[in-house]
Chains A and B, each alone.
Chain A
């Protein structure tokens, strides 16, 4: 029997996250190409409730242990290492959890790993991954014919899989001792209650480092007022404290899918693209024509947002008056 294709389920508060659905897409393609089973792997309790959200997988393998309820790096690596060593799947695909787990597992098992893959195909028996490198300015095609490969997929790079039947759940006992953990979960700090929910806003004016100075935010505020939009920010801008963390878009911020996402002075680091590429209409303004944001933008303006934002505000107001 050819080695299985595994994906690692990502869920939050009993809900399967969209990244998992993307993993199912990528996994399904590989499984079909290899003639293998697609198995979703879930660590922690609550597998039954998650199963309907994992339609498309052939099976759901669940290690039902309360200590695994939250991502605990050391425990998760231990359990996955034991599972992989014992069951030898051909591929394990991960999403955001991959940033934490892929490399450590690969090194422990001495198997190859790929990061930030936006494409994965099988050429004969060789896996070819296309990885986003150098801040998205270049792609690296990496190949491996090893019997087991771990891959971390770039969130947003694969479309979610259309619905299918829910997989059968196979619960197994924890294959390894969880005593004396190397990492102990101490607690979760929730962000301060947000004064706005940018995930619910239909129009986002999002500012990045290109805005230059905190005082230039008024340019974006003016446009937001004229357009009926909400202000959002890239990580550096939130990090500088120019806008509250609650308005940060990206991997460590919010994932947004607004009607319009206007990126002003945002270059488009992979972690940012991940949080916004699902927007229906993306307009990007940046001085660097090579900025990765233009790879996801529908409309691009190579220019300075300090100039374009007020011009657009003026045009909107003029149109309103007309």
Chain B
């Protein structure tokens, strides 16, 4: 390389590096400062081995990303290309600065593989965006995406060009050498041309890389740095626990991004706006005014906003930047969290924003009534505690109070199964099944209160704490070995939320208990000969990993199970969760239950929709009115298969 060219390139490199550093100082530093200032997050260093493993599987091997094969492959090619090319780019710049550094090991052919892989990924990515046009990308910043693809292609072209004009090309750099031969064939082999070509390649490579670096802090592509720690520090352990172990002293309300933890902020910085959460969201699919991706985008915008928000620094995000109808569209089903390739936790943000709405005191009248009733009566139904066990009056045997008599199984019935006339028949049938099985079971009767799972998800953490306190007192007075419930929302609270409050007794879903009774031969089932589909309750499946027992139980009853398109981890919510069932005036839009029902109706020959959650029973029975589909609770089928139904 000529001695005239080197200082020019070096100067330009230093200039570019200074520009990038300035951009990071201006745009990146405030983000770092915000991370430093943010509220503390929960312990994130536990289980380091598992965390590293997860990092390898997710960040390197793209496990979740590859759930969408084409988009996943494009990202993997880009990622591999990047990993292969960046060291070579850095080396080129270093060697330029000091030729003695030429002793640094050359990447050689790997860089060229990277160029090819990256180019293929970028082209596939562009095609995916421009030709496939997946709906999940609606609302994402297309200019940002195309811009970045452009940067990448420029960098890659630069790397190849530079190699091809290098005075001493790396022997393994097959792409560079092939291009070099082409240049020679075209007669571009004079020293001047080669120097110009090299300089151009260098500037494209290093220059575009530095420009890219400078652009990053204000782009969604910051995820290439943020996603790594975000995956490493992700929530492990019980997914269903929402209540923080150490609640912030100022309360959980998120008035501004300053009320988020540093892990929340890292979530925002890691979000690449891929829209997978939006595609998975049942509220969005049903036409409700919520997109988890848009929520992330809005919060991220607030975080990166250089100036105070309109309306002054004190203006609440909830109800302004994030609309109240959007927040009340969320059924806390966790589909977004399940879909996110970088393990963003959306729900804590929704709940924090809801808590801010509650602080304002403006909320749906039905919701307000339910919350007041939870506080006063211990149930959301506006009924007195003394009526909680009224459903047992239809039984021909007494159900003991576990506070007076030691039992094997304490049945935590929950509000809906206790009070709602649409659910009570199923509650009674389960009682008869348990009675028939000679299981010693009991209730807390009027001492049971709603466990507060939804109160917490509505943003009313104080009410949750109060309800938990009342239940834990009653649970402490009773004698039992295990807890069973038909209500996944109760199960989630008892199993996950109460655990951090010291409650460690095993909690079973009735599907698990019934399966156990069938397996041990206590309950004998005869085939029902039905063709049915099964709806995974969010708080049983996704949040608590109970997928198999209900299906195994169905198999034991000779039910021909046909799965809906969305099932298992990808199951689609009925729309009732997160306190939405209490809303008197739900946000306008579609009905997630009707949407879900369409899936069941589309299955040929399926006559029954089996549910395993009281709220599902209510929602789907209403949605299925007038359709040929029968909605049944799992226990109802077991009751029939056990020969207890007098109608058979």
Contacts and interface: CB of A to CB of B under 8 A. Distances in A.
Q: Within the complex, are A and B direct neighbours (CB within 8 Å)?
A: yes
Interface of A: 209, 212-215, 240, 242, 287-288, 303-304, 306-307, 310
Contact of B585 (A214, A306, A307, A310): A214
B267 to A, nearest CB: 33
Contacts of B369: 209
| A interface secondary structure, majority | loop
B422 A306 contact: yes
B383 A213 contact: no
A209 B584 CA distance: 10
A307 B369 CA distance: 21
A54 to B, nearest CB: 43
Nearest to A210: B382
Contact of A240 (B419, B421, B584): B584
B366 interface: yes
Interface in B395-422: 419-422
B421 A307 contact: yes
Interface residues of B, number: 13
Nearest to B584: A213
Interface of B: 365-366, 369, 383, 419-422, 583-586, 625
Contact of B421 (A213, A242, A304): A304
Contacts of B383: 287-288
A307 B421 CA distance: 7
A303 B387 CA distance: 13
The 5 closest A-B pairs by CB, nearest first: A304-B421, A307-B421, A213-B584, A303-B421, A240-B365
Contact of A307 (B365, B422, B586): B422
Contacts of A214: 584-585
Given A303-B421, A307-B422, A212 B586 contact: no
B619 to A, nearest CB: 11
Contacts of B420: 304
B586 A215 contact: yes
A317 B63 CA distance: 55
Contacts of A215: 586
Contacts of B625: 310
7 contacts: A209-B369, A213-B585, A240-B584, A242-B584, A287-B383, A287-B421, A306-B422
Nearest to B366: A213
A212 B421 contact: no
Given A288-B383, A310-B625, A213 B422 contact: no
A263 to B, nearest CB: 17
B529 to A, nearest CB: 27
Given A213-B586, A288-B383, 15 more contacts: A209-B369, A212-B366, A213-B366, A213-B583, A213-B584, A213-B585, A214-B585, A215-B586, A240-B365, A242-B584, A287-B421, A303-B421, A304-B420, A304-B422, A307-B421
| B interface secondary structure, majority | loop
B580 to A, nearest CB: 10
A259 B421 CA distance: 29
Contacts of B422: 304, 306-307
Contacts of A240: 365, 584-585
B94 to A, nearest CB: 67
A306 B421 CA distance: 9
Contacts of B419: 287
A215 B585 CA distance: 8
Contacts of B586: 213, 215
A213 B622 CA distance: 13
A212 B581 CA distance: 10
Contacts of A209: 369
B368 to A, nearest CB: 11
Contacts of B421: 287, 303-304, 306-307
Contacts of B366: 212-213
Nearest to A308: B421
Contacts of A306: 421-422
Contacts of A303: 421
B438 to A, nearest CB: 32
A209 B625 CA distance: 22
Contacts of A304: 420-422
A306 B617 CA distance: 14
A242 B420 CA distance: 22
A213 B366 CA distance: 7
A287 B424 CA distance: 13
B497 to A, nearest CB: 26
A270 B271 CA distance: 57
A209 B382 CA distance: 11
A41 B422 CA distance: 54
- Residue in B366, B369, B421, B625 whose Cβ sees the most chain A Cβ within 10 Å: B421
Nearest to B625: A310
A212 B584 CA distance: 7
A214 B366 CA distance: 10
Nearest to B382: A209
Contacts of B585: 213-214, 240
A175 B375 CA distance: 54
Nearest to B384: A288
Contacts of A307: 421-422
A142 B454 CA distance: 46
Contacts of A212: 366, 584
A310 B621 CA distance: 12
A215 B623 CA distance: 12
Contacts of B584: 212-214, 240, 242
A288 B381 CA distance: 11
A287 to B, nearest CB: 7
Contacts of A310: 625
A92 B583 CA distance: 47
Nearest to A290: B384
B530 to A, nearest CB: 23
B366 to A, nearest CB: 6
A307 B422 CA distance: 7
Contacts of B365: 240
A287 B583 CA distance: 20
A306 B584 CA distance: 14
A26 B419 CA distance: 43
A215 B580 CA distance: 13
Nearest to B420: A304
B433 to A, nearest CB: 23
A124 to B, nearest CB: 41
Nearest to A304: B421
Nearest to B585: A214
- Residue in A214, A287, A303 whose Cβ sees the most chain B Cβ within 10 Å: A287
Contacts of A287: 383, 419, 421
A178 B32 CA distance: 74
A212 B586 CA distance: 12
